[in-house]
Structure formats: C-alpha cells, structure tokens
C-alpha cells in the first residue's frame, strides 16, 4: 500500500512539474501547421495570415505557394484574425486570448486573456445590477473564447465572444473596456462575428439575432430578423447586408437591417465565412466545401464548381478572381472564375 501511495504521489508530482498553462506555453513549431486545422484568415497588406489550433499562425507572401509559421507566445486555439493596416493586426481565440502583431503577422505578443478579463469585469461592474451574474461566472471566464475581432483603425476595435462577452479598446489593445452592459442581449447569446460595413458595425449571434452599433448612444441595439437560427457572420456593403449561418440560411437587407429577405443558397450545411473581391463580388463558403459567388450585392449566389471541394472555416479575397480558404485541412488558394 505504501508503495502504491508513493507511486501515486510521484505521478502527481511529475504531472505538476510538466504541466504548463496554454496561455504561458509558446506554440510549438510544426511542419504541418499550414495543413492542419486553421479557423481564421485575413490579409495583412499582400500577405495571407491564417490562425488555428494550438496557437498556430501561418503566413504566405506568394499567394499561398509557400507558408511560414509565426512566433506565437500561447498554445490556445485561435479562431479569428484581422489586420486594419498591413503591419498591425489582432488575433483572438480560446481562453479569452488576444494577440497583437506589429510586423504583419510574423511575430505576436499577448495583450489580453480570460483571467484578466474576469478580474476586469468584476472590478468594473462591482455594485451594479450585473455584479451577481458576473461574480457567479467569473471562475469560468478564463475558459470562455473570444470568437471575433474588428478594428476600425489601428487604435479602435472590439472583441466579442461566448455568453455576450464584448470589450472595446481605443489605444491599440493596451487597455480594454467591457461593454457587457452596452449590448441589448439579456439572454447572453454567444456573439459569433463582428464586422464593420460602411459606417456601421454589426454583430451576429444566436437565434436569428443581429446587433448594430448605435454610435450616439454608445451601445449595440438588437435588430429583428425573420430567422430563428444562429448567424455565423455578416458581409456586404452599406447598400446591401447579407447575414448567413446554419443550414445554408442567408438573409439580405437593403435598408441597414430594418427589413430582411431570405436568399436561396441551395446549400444544406452551415455557411461559415465571407469575403468581398476587389471588383465587389460577395463570396460565401460552407462547412461542406461550397463556394458561392454573388455579382448582384447578395441578391443571388452561384456555386463555383470544384474538382476537390474542401470544408472551410473562413475565406479572404486575394484580388478579383482568387480566394484563400482555411479549414480542417489547412490553407488552400482557390480560383472563383
């Protein structure tokens, strides 16, 4: 019995000695980083930058022919990335992590994480109506992911995530302010995507919910839509919005979200990513590998025929006739002619 207890004690000691928090563990170099699970993609000037599992970030300067792996200080799964300028970008993901790059995605630093977010929420909302709810959930805050990031310029941006988490910065991510009380989301739906379209900013969420930033009031207001499922994203122009999500559903608005009409996509699976080409075409991609292109501001979409469709998680335009997609099989450049 004593030997068994000693063995168990030694095993516990070894486990404690070898465990390292993913928020403190740099992402490991891997020759397969560009061909394993990637979830988000963006352009940093002419450079393609993809983010994914285990903190992997890869980039290509030759239209996807060759990929290099970035230096990343965490091993948390990353789900979204954006560059408001060719050099400055942000990536977000699980464990509430927020990363920043000032060299076009080659190297990254951690600016924020779920542990800091939890302490900040407790401090800011102490004594408020939301204090009890925040205190109850604070022990779990570090595990809640940020799902998307949207910077209007190199200083001002938002991050959004699970259970209505939303923060804003006006100094390039050096400091973040919670907007938990500045969004009309009493049921605390997950916030899946945030996009700047024209002069407006929109957030998509569960149960057919879209939020729009009221700049004068300094809060996000809920917009009614005819759909009851989750919207995974939103795209378009100030003249025509397209919100898309589960089971190939897409809805279009020509009046900044006041009214919506269903768009027939012919796709039976989730639409998960969108981009706009240099000539103004809208592109949607699906979990099943579908690529849909619209030349009429989202009123209708035409599928692109592919010899070897691959499931997608996100997409970005590389000009007028080519896109870069990322997903379970890594990164792929695809013609949409």
What's the pLDDT score for residue 262?
98
Q: Which residues, at least 6 apart from 16, have a Cβ–Cβ distance to it below 8 Å?
A: none
DSSP SS3 for 144: coil
* Residue the block writes with tokens 């979409």: 301
Global model pTM greater than 0.75: yes
CB 335 within 8 A of CB 322: yes
What's the pLDDT score for residue 51?
99
DSSP codes of every residue in 31-53: TTGGGS-EEEEEEETTEEEEEEG
168 forms beta bridges with 158, 177
What's the pLDDT score for residue 130?
77
Angle value at C-alpha 166, between 225 and 254, nearest 5 degrees? 30
> What's the CA gap between 284 and 303, in Å, rounded?
9
CB 297 within 8 A of CB 282: yes
What's the pLDDT score for residue 322?
96
- Give the DSSP H/E element, type plus range, for residue 106: none
* Cα four-point dihedral sign 63, 309, 229, 298: positive
What's the pLDDT score for residue 138?
58
78 forms beta bridges with 93
Q: What parts of the chain have a pLDDT lower than 50?
A: 1-6, 8-17
> What's the CA gap between 303 and 9, in Å, rounded?
60
Question: What structural domains does the chain harbor?
Answer: 24-151 (no CATH), 182-337 (2.130.10.10)
What's the pLDDT score for residue 127?
85
Longest dimension (CA), the chain: 76
What's the pLDDT score for residue 136?
67
What's the pLDDT score for residue 256?
94
What's the pLDDT score for residue 129?
77
CB 201 within 8 A of CB 158: yes
What's the pLDDT score for residue 5?
40
CB atoms within 10 A of CB 279: 10
List phi, psi (to 5°) of 182: -115, 30
53-84, pLDDT tens digit by residue?
999 999 999 999 999 999 999 999 999 999 99
* Residue the block writes with tokens 């979990």: 287
DSSP letter assigned to residue 307 = S
* Residue the block writes with tokens 């000693």: 6
What's the pLDDT score for residue 15?
43
* Residue the block writes with tokens 């739906």: 189
What's the pLDDT score for residue 140?
57
């Amino acid at each position: 019995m004593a030997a068994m207890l000693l063995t168990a004690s030694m095993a516990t000691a070894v486990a404690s000695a070898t465990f390292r928090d993913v928020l403190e563990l740099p992402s490991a170099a891997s020759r397969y980083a560009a061909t394993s699970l990637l979830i988000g993609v963006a352009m940093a000037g002419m450079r393609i930058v993809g983010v994914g599992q285990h903190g992997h970030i890869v980039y290509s300067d030759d239209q996807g022919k060759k990929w290099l792996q970035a230096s990343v200080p965490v091993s948390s799964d990353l789900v979204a990335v954006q560059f408001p300028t060719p050099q400055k970008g942000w990536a977000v993901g699980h464990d509430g992590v927020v990363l920043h790059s000032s060299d076009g995605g080659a190297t990254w630093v951690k600016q924020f994480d779920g542990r800091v977010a939890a302490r900040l929420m407790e401090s800011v909302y102490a004594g408020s109506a939301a204090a009890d709810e925040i205190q109850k959930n604070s022990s779990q805050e570090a595990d809640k992911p940020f799902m998307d990031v949207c910077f209007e310029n190199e200083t001002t941006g938002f991050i959004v995530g699970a259970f209505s988490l939303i923060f804003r910065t006006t100094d390039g991510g050096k400091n973040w302010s919670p907007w938990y009380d500045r969004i009309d989301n009493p049921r605390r739906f997950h916030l899946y995507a945030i996009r700047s379209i024209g002069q407006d900013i929109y957030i998509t969420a569960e149960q057919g919910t879209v939020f729009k930033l009221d700049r004068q009031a300094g809060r996000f207001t809920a917009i009614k839509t005819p759909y009851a499922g989750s919207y995974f994203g939103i795209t378009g122009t100030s003249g025509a919005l397209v919100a898309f999500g589960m089971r190939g559903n897409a809805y279009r608005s020509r009046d900044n979200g006041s009214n919506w009409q269903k768009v027939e996509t012919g796709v039976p699976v989730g639409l998960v990513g969108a981009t706009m080409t240099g000539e103004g075409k809208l592109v949607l991609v699906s979990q099943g590998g579908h690529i849909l292109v619209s030349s009429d501001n989202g009123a209708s979409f035409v599928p692109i025929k592919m010899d070897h469709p691959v499931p997608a998680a996100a997409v970005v335009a590389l000009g007028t006739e080519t896109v870069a997609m990322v997903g379970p099989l890594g990164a792929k450049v695809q013609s949409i002619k």
